Structure 1
Amino acid sequence: MSRPLRVAIGGVHIESSTFSPHLSTAGDFEVTRGDALLARYGWLSPAEPWAADVEWVPLVHARALPGGAVTPETYDAWHAEILDGLAAAGPLDGILLDIHGAMSVVGRDDAEGGLVTAIRSLVGPEPFVSAAMDLHGNVSHALFDGCDLLTCYRTAPHVDVWETRERAARNLVDALRRGRRPHKALVHVPILLPGEMTSTRLDPAKALYARVPEIEARDGVIDVAIWIGFAWADEPRCSGAVVATGTDAAATAAAARELGRHFWEARDDFTFVAPTGTMDECLDEALVAVKDPARRPFFISDSGDNPGAGGADDVTFALERMLTRPEIADGSVRAVYASLVDPDAVARVADLPPGSPVSVRVGGRIDPREPGPLPIEGVLEAVADDPDGGRCVSLRVGGLSVFVTSRRMQYRELASYRRLGVEAGTVDLVVVKIGYLEPELFEAAGDWLLALTPGGVDQDLRRLPYERLLRPVFPLDRDFAADLTVVAR
């Protein structure tokens, strides 16, 4: 009887803005190993039939909320642990990399490409490597060369994360059972757009990703995937990409070529997922809109400091603009600001009895953009422990609840608001550090706007100081012919 297939699993998963002054360290990551790592994957417990006779070998997996670039010592420790685990694992048939694709490490250009290159140097050319990625990741030539199979999410907001990981694992196991290394093809598409212009809720991204199942179903094709790329890192690898894998070389190359061409031809049709404006313009409209019950609660995305894309989570610009509005200050408009990370401010007030007066400066300690730390004179409204944000407080100023957290977090789930005593559906206005509204907020919103605020993930890419991107790239450059050459292996 032949031995079962042996497949190792591991990776480091973070999206990193090189324009954010925040640095991601080990304390920002959730790390799983051993049985806890394997327990993350639904196809293993109980095992799906296709996975049942595979021996899954856990390495290490580290995952963090998007942030600034990862410090070298943080990354190097997990890089070494992954390699040490592979060296100790014995013979392996395959490796599943559970990664993001937009991790930046201080002083390095291509963290994921460097990781797979090191893995290949250790294990040699024989084991098959499959990568499951975020569609906001990047596919460098090094990553493409080192992997046999690559796939990514097909929805934004991402509601198919676990489906994608399972697809990457199943494609790997199927290829190993066939006993033939897949053909693969890459097309770099010189487009770099923020995720808020490429949501699959709307065309053209909706229509573009809708082509994937049809192309994937063709004879000789295993998988096709579209990467939007990551707009908030100044690295040569950042751009759109299409990768196809298959059992037939010609069909695989044709699939990548066709989908890459469709991506490029749609470039002028991408628009923001919601109406946009400056923070003041968005507040002007919101304060009129909340008079209409059908438009409440009205959401404004403080998008430039969105921690879900790598923002520092402490730029106070949007909050400062809210505090100037008399309707909010006098309580005639009930509003929420979610949130600012400031563990020192939380520590100063969290042990006071609820209802206590507070005088504290919040935010502006990581990202120095104006106006910097803001003085808050108000009342301690609530204290809660949040699994993402740690100890959190709500400070009440007139009609405004200001959420302050001990750890960076994104207020994307309604339960996080409830922990601080706020039912988001009952307030007039919610300003949240986010880009496109995640599903729960989208369903709750009566209406919403995307504020083009300053920060490390500024939606107006023209305001970012790019120096190292491969140019030309749309939309920073417009009058050029795209090189859509297919790289086939």
Structure 2
Amino acid sequence: MAGEVRFAVGRLWYEGNSFNPIPARLDAFRAREWAKGPEALARCADTATELGAVAEFLRERPRWRAEVLRCTSAPPGGPVLQADLEVICDEIVGGLAGRDWDAVYLSLHGALIGTGDLAPDRTLLARMRAALGPDVPLAVSFDMHGCLAPGIADSVQILTGYRTYPHVDMFATAMRALMLLERAVAGEIRPRVTLAPVPMLPASHLMRTDAGPMAELVALAAEEERAPGIHDVTVFGGFAYADTPNAHATVAICHEAGADAGAIARRLADAVLARRERFRPDLPDAAGGIGAALRAIAAGARWPVAVVEPADNPLSGGIGDTTALLRAWLDAGSALPAVFCFFHDPALVARAHAAGEGAAIDCMLGGRVAPEFGPPIPFRGRVARLTAGRFVNTGPMERGMAVDLGRTAVLEDGPLKVVIAETCQSANDPGWCDLHGIDPASVAVFMAKAKNHFHAAFGPLCGAIVAVDTPGPAPADLRRLDYVHVPRSFLLPDDAG
């Protein structure tokens, strides 16, 4: 193609937890990421993100004239209120309609859920295809935990997903999609997509890609990708807390028409199922995890030893409100310095800011949203620090991106610090500690509502990381969840009951 390339870019990144009782609203998207046009790329330039990759791709290709449509994301949470979801999708599709395009790229998560539509990624892509016509190449990237409806393959020519967990390859994933899109525009390739559902839905606790079953599957996919006519092979683990008919593992292949994608899909699907038992998490409860941390410290482990609570991890759709881990720490009676991060409680944050730094505070922590996951905990202490909640990621995940937690407060009672925040977002970056005046090396036990992403930045800082299972909206024990749309046979045998 000799002239300009008319290129559209959009983004709708959200992970929905069906067991989170709080529907996500439009204001959650507007608060985290709500941009279009040059502003959307400017805010992400030189960051380790999908739009950071788009900005770099365009910087080196002056013939590509991009129009950036609505780009938005929100912290994971409950299903998105359907009317608000339609506002976003209508804007993206409306930006495409009635115009001629040569190429389109869309950054999605894949586990988006609406309160009415259980497969909104498929719906959005089908609407985009109808607006584009049959021939405009459409490339899409997904999170490793996407729940991909098979019909998505009818709407896109190029599909790929994250291959690392923690997800430190957002930039690389988008760039892979964009490079294939460039080849399709040039007429070098005519790609299509095959999706192979795998009848299995593992919890993601053992899905890290530094070692273990998911690392092996990523390596197998890379080997299969060398076959003639194969452009991309990605294994998706699915998202165990999305109760939808498409919540399952998936093998996705982007390929030419003559490639034997079906055989590759069958081999990889069998490889996923063969590792089924190895995805089973076996975690102690909160008391057991605190005990393990204290024993590790007594044996000489370097400070801090982290205890992470995946069942209320915000990046799994947690609510930032469960109390079992903090209660276990208080019951242990340790005098060691400790940090608990965090509780999501806007009203308490407002009260702390009104009181001011140094003020005494007598309050209840947690248990305000879903007391069935643990009742509130009485707390008496002082307001040690107040912040505006803004910092820039310095760790490997979304490096360079600005973060806005809303206002936060550090409450202190002797050697214990508890952070409360106006929004429900994970503490996965060292910038979070800097914001709150916390030196991790001076903390014996660092308790966090977090899971695998915590390892990316904090793994090198911690003497050990202990994961626990507690009552919450994202438990390791899937038997605690009342699925409606996921077949029990998709769960591990013990989880299926």
TM above 0.5, yes or no, is yes
The Cα shift of 1:176 comes to 2.1
Query: 1:475, 1:47 → 2: CA distance?
Result: 42
Q: Deviations over 1:320-340 (max 9, x none)?
A: 22222321xxxx211110000
Structure 1 residues 46 and 100, CA, compared in 2 at 3 Å: closer, same or farther? closer
Q: Deviations over 1:258-307 (max 9, x none)?
A: 222222222222244xx720001111222222223424211111111110
The Cα shift of 1:213 comes to 2.6
Structure 2 SS opposite 1:162: helix
Query: 2:253, 2:107 → 1: CA distance?
Result: 18
Structure 1 residues 46 and 181, CA, compared in 2 at 3 Å: closer, same or farther? closer
Structure 2 SS opposite 1:442: helix
Partner of 2:400: none
Partner of 2:151: 142
Partner of 1:169: 178
Partner of 1:413: 429
| Greater mean deviation of Cα atoms: 262-271 or 184-193 | 262-271
Partner of 2:82: 72
TM-score scaled by length of structure 2: 0.90
| Native 8 Å contact 1:96 1:131 kept in 2 | yes
The Cα shift of 1:139 comes to 1.3
The one-letter amino acid paired with 1:442 is G
The one-letter amino acid paired with 1:247 is E
Partner of 1:390: 406
Query: 1:231, 1:43 → 2: CA distance?
Result: 29
Structure 1 residues 6 and 179, CA, compared in 2 at 3 Å: closer, same or farther? farther
The Cα shift of 1:222 comes to 0.7
| Native 8 Å contact 2:183 2:189 kept in 1 | no
Partner of 2:269: 260
Query: 2:93, 2:467 → 1: CA distance?
Result: 43
The Cα shift of 1:223 comes to 0.6
For residue 439 of structure 1, the aligned residue among 442, 456, 473 is: 456
Query: 2:427, 2:462 → 1: CA distance?
Result: 14
Query: 2:220, 2:61 → 1: CA distance?
Result: 28
The one-letter amino acid paired with 1:4 is E
The one-letter amino acid paired with 1:80 is D
For residue 64 of structure 2, the aligned residue among 46, 54, 70 is: 54
The one-letter amino acid paired with 2:230 is V
Aligned-residue sequence identity (percent) comes to 28
1:305 aligns with 2:312: yes
The Cα shift of 1:44 comes to 5.0
1:337 aligns with 2:379: no
The Cα shift of 1:34 comes to 0.4
The one-letter amino acid paired with 2:293 is A
The one-letter amino acid paired with 2:64 is V
| Greater mean deviation of Cα atoms: 463-472 or 301-310 | 463-472
Query: 1:229, 1:367 → 2: CA distance?
Result: 26
Query: 2:154, 2:3 → 1: CA distance?
Result: 28
Q: Deviations over 1:112-142 (max 9, x none)?
A: 0111111122222121211100010011022
Query: 2:416, 2:385 → 1: CA distance?
Result: 13
The one-letter amino acid paired with 1:412 is N
Partner of 1:483: none
| Native 8 Å contact 2:10 2:69 kept in 1 | yes
1:104 aligns with 2:116: no
| Native 8 Å contact 1:462 1:476 kept in 2 | no
Query: 1:477, 1:46 → 2: CA distance?
Result: 47
1:324 aligns with 2:345: no
Structure 2 SS opposite 1:277: coil
Query: 1:449, 1:43 → 2: CA distance?
Result: 34
Query: 2:83, 2:188 → 1: CA distance?
Result: 38
TM-score scaled by length of structure 1: 0.91
1:472 aligns with 2:489: yes
| Native 8 Å contact 1:184 1:249 kept in 2 | no
Q: Deviations over 1:17-52 (max 9, x none)?
A: 000112211221211100022333344545468744
Consecutive unaligned residues in structure 2, runs of 5 or more: 45-50, 391-403
Query: 1:473, 1:15 → 2: CA distance?
Result: 20
Partner of 1:423: 439
Query: 1:153, 1:44 → 2: CA distance?
Result: 16
Query: 1:2, 1:32 → 2: CA distance?
Result: 31
The one-letter amino acid paired with 2:311 is G
The one-letter amino acid paired with 1:444 is L
Partner of 2:397: none
Structure 2 SS opposite 1:57: strand
Partner of 2:126: 117
The one-letter amino acid paired with 1:115 is L
The Cα shift of 1:423 comes to 0.8
| Greater mean deviation of Cα atoms: 310-319 or 349-358 | 349-358
CA RMSD for the aligned pairs? 2.0
Structure 2 SS opposite 1:174: helix
Partner of 2:476: 459
Partner of 1:210: 219
Query: 1:43, 1:203 → 2: CA distance?
Result: 29
| Native 8 Å contact 2:25 2:84 kept in 1 | yes
Partner of 1:17: 17
| Native 8 Å contact 1:100 1:134 kept in 2 | yes
Consecutive unaligned residues in structure 1, runs of 5 or more: 480-489
Query: 2:288, 2:153 → 1: CA distance?
Result: 44
| Native 8 Å contact 1:320 1:374 kept in 2 | yes
Partner of 1:289: 296
Q: Deviations over 1:64-90 (max 9, x none)?
A: 1111111112211111101111115x2
Query: 1:250, 1:2 → 2: CA distance?
Result: 29
Partner of 2:93: 83
Query: 1:112, 1:66 → 2: CA distance?
Result: 15
